[in-house]
Amino acid sequence: MLRRMAAVVFLLAQFSIPASAADPAFDRWLQAAWPEAQALGVSRGVFDTAVAGLEPDLTLPDLVIPGRVVRDPGQPEFVQTPGEYLKETTFDRLAVQGQKFANDYRDTLSRIERQFGVPGNILLAIWARETAYGGYKLPHDAIRVLATQGYTGRRKDLFRKEFLAALKMLQDGIPRERMRSSWGGAMGQTQFLPSEFYKYAVDFDGDGRADIWTSVADALASAAKQLADKGWQPGARWAYEVRAPSNADCSVGVPEIVMPVSEWLRRGFVPAYGRNLSAAELAEPVSLLQPEGSYGPAFLTPKNYYVLKEYNFSDLYVLFVGHLSDRIAGVQKFETPWSKAEQLRTAQVEQMQRTLAARGLYTDKVDGKAGMKTRAALGAYQKANGLKVDCWPTAEVLQHMSR
């Protein structure tokens, strides 16, 4: 912790930007938000109290400040390899805890599943990933975070709306001290932005208020409502681990290429551990996911996979939640181990994406994240240039592109 704090102080000193310097432009930005806050029902007293003495937190990542390089948030979902992020030792520990909570909250989880169709082990896995079953204490004041990100973040319009919704939460009686958040303004045991709180928060324990902070029942039911509203299909799996045939084309691993499970099996994919699938499962439309290209495990991903991905856009996040939910339910670990592939730096992946885009192989955003579409485009590049087709960004392939 002390080393991180020292690094932040050094960074700020390098750019001569004090962590909480008086900023008249920030004050003007805050005051300009008053008419919109008022339209949401926020009183002048609540607004003035919320912004009194408020200063931007310039230590946050993802800010756009003149003369300063935008600091990537470095979320582990986007900068770690699958093997680093999906550690079996972590699953072992969290699965044991999750099984205890599954027993402790059995009746609550059963009622949630009856109402929303989302299994308890999925909700427990989200709870574990977001706040370590409520044990992780969020470090930031949400009002300050959302105001800062709305004022000078990379996604100003999004965070301005979230800042206004957070002011409404204060108006509606949520105590400021309870509104602790991540660097991106998400709050509560299952990490909701203010707008998500108003869309999905549920009073499931019957005390007359939706409390995603201290009520486990409310937090888990709220997560279930979010998944249900986004299209969760009751009774269906989140994914199927499979063994890919040696001639599998990793470049087809994109959501747009969908076939029934039975067709993928006909093409040589084999369910992990030789699991037998039902007729309904064999008929389910799925796409292929190979998080490490042709290395490591492969998965067939149905609708529920992409519903989880709307909770957090990272494939590694979904794999973590999905696999932990399986482990809580007593399912075995991944059959195929993750490889020891190295992860290129964000700037290198961005360079690769720009090259792929220039060649007409990549049409998604340049973000330095080696997601599905980047890996598929890379596979197409490898095919076109007679390289080994593994759909994994390496320094060797980047060097080839540079030539």
CA atoms within 13 A on the CB side of 180: 12
- Spatial neighbors of 144 by CB under 8 A, at least 6 apart, are 54, 55, 56, 57
The pLDDT of residue 6: 36
The pLDDT of residue 346: 84
What stretch of H or E contains 326? Answer: helix 315-328
Q: Among the three residues 187, 209, 224, which one is the final residue of a domain in this structure?
A: 187
Is there a domain that residue 84 lies in? Answer: no
- Spatial neighbors of 197 by CB under 8 A, at least 6 apart, are 165, 169, 187, 188, 210, 212, 222
Contact 222, 212 (CB under 8 A): yes
Q: What is the count of structural domains for the chain?
A: 2
Is there a domain that residue 28 lies in? Answer: yes
User: Residue 243 corresponds to which tokens in the numbers above?
Assistant: 């063994």
Is there a domain that residue 341 lies in? Answer: no
**Strand, helix or coil for residue 287:** strand
Is there a domain that residue 118 lies in? Answer: no
User: Helix and strand tally (H, E) in the chain?
Assistant: 20, 8
Is there a domain that residue 220 lies in? Answer: no
Q: How many residues does the chain have?
A: 403
Is there a domain that residue 234 lies in? Answer: no
Is there a domain that residue 52 lies in? Answer: yes
pLDDT in tens, the chain (403 residues): 333 333 333 333 333 333 444 689 999 999 999 999 999 999 999 999 999 999 999 999 989 887 665 555 555 545 688 988 999 999 999 999 999 999 999 999 999 999 999 999 999 999 999 999 999 999 999 999 999 999 999 999 999 999 999 999 999 999 999 999 999 999 999 999 999 999 999 999 999 999 999 999 999 999 999 999 999 999 999 999 999 999 999 999 999 999 999 999 999 999 999 999 999 999 999 999 999 999 999 999 999 999 999 998 889 999 999 999 999 999 999 999 998 778 788 889 999 999 999 999 999 989 888 888 999 999 999 999 999 999 999 999 999 999 8
The pLDDT of residue 2: 33
> 390 φ, ψ to 5°?
-125, -5
Is there a domain that residue 3 lies in? Answer: no
Residue 213's nearest CA partner among 236, 182, 179 is: 179
The pLDDT of residue 65: 84
Range of the domain at 50: 19-74+139-187
The pLDDT of residue 403: 83
Q: Is the pTM of this model over 0.95?
A: no
d(CA 248, CA 272): 16
CATH number at residue 156: 1.10.8
Exposed e or buried b per residue across 342-359, where buried means at least 16 C-beta atoms within 10 angstroms of its C-beta: ebbebebbebbbebbeee
